[in-house]
Amino acid sequence: MKSIIDLIYYSDYFRTTDNSSLSDEYMSAVDRVCEAEKQLLTRLPECAEFFEEYQDAQIAVTSLAQRYEFAKGMRVGAQLILELTKPLL
């Protein structure tokens, strides 16, 4: 069974992402990546299969890192809330 943190992260519990709010900065970075990939595969078409394997591996690592950091942030937030419930004096 998935933890509540995983359910929230994967938007199974409620939606946490909104593609319509992606920043111009983010979209510009995506465009740069797409253009670089296009140029790479144009110059080195024989590397297409290897590059796809590399991308898959990189995506897996990044996805895990993002999930771990999300969970850590949720835990820090919960600890902060607990700290705020303590009496002042």
Q: State pTM to two decimals.
A: 0.67
Distances (CA, A) of 45 to 6, 14, 54, 59: 38, 42, 15, 21
What pLDDT does 1 receive? 72
Per-residue model confidence as pLDDT tens digits over 34-85: 999 999 999 999 999 999 999 999 999 999 999 999 999 999 999 999 999 9
What pLDDT does 34 receive? 96
